[in-house]
Amino acid sequence: MTRTSAACPSAQPDHFVHDRLPPAAQCAEMLYSLPELQIPAQANLVDVLFDKAASRKLSSKAFLRSDKLTLSYGEAAQQVARIAQVLTENHALVPGNRVLLRGGNSIAMALAWLGVVKAGLVAVATMPLLRAKELGEVIEKSQVSFALCDASLLDELQAAQTQGETLKTVVAFNAPQQAESLEGLATAKTGNFTPCLTSADDVAMMAFTSGTTGKPKAVVHTHRDVLAACESWPHHILRAAPNDIVMGSPPLAFTFGLGGLLLFPMWAGASVYYPSIAYTPEAMVKLINQVGATICYTAPTFYRQMAAFAKQLGTPTLRTCVSAGEALPDATRQLWKDATGMEMTDGIGATEMFHIFISTDPASPDGVRRGAIGKVVPGYMAKVVDDQGHEVPRGTVGKLAVKGPTGCRYLDDERQGNYVKDGWNYPGDAFMQDDDGYFFYQARADDMIITAGYNVGGPEVEDALLKHPAVAECGVVGLPDDERGMIVKAFIVLKPGQKDGAETVKALQDHVKSSLAPFKYPRQIEFVDKLPRTETGKLQRFKLRTP
């Protein structure tokens, strides 16, 4: 991978990210075996995707939709160019500078992300539920000095800004009436933006993911990575077309949402709908019918909750339902099939790999097998191995190892060696592969809690709980749950004189919600006299998972 950044005669590029990438020997082997994976050496992914739409004569076709606004591909391209002008002309940002993005799924958030990347900058999108403490960790790790933030979400980001010295400037979007907002500044621009030449191996984005330690990891993806992802699962499995309308719930700050609800529709020339209301299962089914959506992305938990409404109201326009983010129980797959008549497109991906690399293919005669996630996506290789990296016999449970046109690169993180070994990516999942090549998910191979599609690190929740004055010790694990896949459960030893009971449970849950994203709070709390530990004092979480 090249260590140079985008070339721009008038500005000295920022090499912060490139200088902190793992050495080549610690990176995954990249596979570009398919013709469509031959990405030109000079490529900006935003320009490539807009140029693709223009070459197919789709410039006047709807791209970004909401209940208040619809932008064509041509109109969106113009807006994105104006945003790139604001970033480089008004704020003097140069290629390689990181830009934090904070916002829910909206047309304004999508345009901001595309504008950042078009300008040769590095997009650092963050979940809208993150609190000031968590935002501060992202800011510090990525050394972000500039941020674009939805006007409705400014409070936590401004709190994070006051707690550190790194973030200097915050510009609001989704506030067109304000002259100094991103929209206000963009209206004064021509849209004639001449970008710096961007190498395909320049960094386009960083995505943050918390490991089991709760310490955030910054995953780095280049323009080549994202374009290769567009040519893999979407090309061979999803097969979207310009007449498709895409909807879904995954946040754009999550690579599952970024791909499914922005970049993959662009690649196909399709359109994507962003709601102005918070999704509920009933509201999503009604909106699918109202908008005429043909493709839906969400987590298994949500499909399970939507099934009754889908059966009652019907989903006549829907043709493809994509499930990822957590394991899909076969019971949920069958419930959805009974309600809609559709086989779900299940898949497993990873932030480190950008998107899905093993998937079902309902359009293929043998694409679905009961209980299996599916087969490896064309362009990727996958195997199940033992602790030494040797492939185990078919039908044997082991660790999943993957390689393909995308792979893990952590920013300045010693955990790179845990994820990549001998050129293979180890997502941390236990799998079994049958004789026909179908992969069957077994469990997480580490302590990650995946609840309703969100990743939660147990130690991070423990840290929050331990800051409550009533807590002496605690251990947090994930337990199986029919509705959410897993729930966060805390085992707590109270300090002397403290009383257990419902009032204390609620106080502790509210305490966690006040410092961490709300989905991380423990839905179950059990008070215990002591926690299981080794002789050296290490917490034995596996014993907490045993009833």
Determine the residue type at 171: V
Q: Tell me which of 432, 464, 492 is where a domain ends.
A: 432
Residues 518 and 474 in one domain: yes
**Per the domain annotation, does 437 fall within a domain?**
no
Is a pLDDT exceeding 60 seen at residue 5?
no
Is a pLDDT exceeding 70 seen at residue 9?
no
**Per the domain annotation, does 224 fall within a domain?**
yes
Residues 262 and 342 in one domain: yes
Is a pLDDT exceeding 70 seen at residue 2?
no
Residues 292 and 351 in one domain: yes
Is a pLDDT exceeding 50 seen at residue 535?
no
Provide the pLDDT for residue 266: 98
Task: Give 260's pLDDT tier (boundaries 50, 70, 90).
Answer: very high
Report phi then psi at 276, rounded to 5: -95, -5
**Per the domain annotation, does 361 fall within a domain?**
yes
> Which tokens in the block code for residue 398?
């082991």
CATH number, residue 288: 3.40.50.12780
Residues 428 and 473 in one domain: no
**Per the domain annotation, does 4 fall within a domain?**
no
Q: Tell me which of 399, 432, 465 is where a domain ends.
A: 432
Task: Please state which of the ranges 180-189, 463-472, 484-493 shows the lowest mean pLDDT.
Answer: 463-472
Residues 456 and 421 in one domain: no
Residues 156 and 23 in one domain: yes
Tell me the sheet residues that pair with 148. Answer: 101, 171
Report phi then psi at 196, rounded to 5: -70, 150
Domain of 541, in residue numbers = 450-545
Total domains, the chain: 2
Task: Give 447's pLDDT tier (boundaries 50, 70, 90).
Answer: low
Residues 231 and 158 in one domain: yes
Residues 465 and 394 in one domain: no
Residues 472 and 395 in one domain: no
Residues 22 and 121 in one domain: yes
Residues 174 and 109 in one domain: yes
**Per the domain annotation, does 442 fall within a domain?**
no
Provide the pLDDT for residue 213: 46
Closest CA to 401 of 377, 378, 428, 374: 428
Give the CA angle between residues 148, 149, 151 to the nearest 5°: 135
Provide the pLDDT for residue 443: 67
Average pLDDT, the chain: 91
Note whether 362 and 343 are within 8 A (CB): yes
Residues 457 and 408 in one domain: no
Higher pLDDT pick, 537 / 77: 77
**Per the domain annotation, does 123 fall within a domain?**
yes
Q: Tell me which of 403, 432, 461 is where a domain ends.
A: 432
CATH number, residue 501: 3.30.300.30
**Per the domain annotation, does 5 fall within a domain?**
no
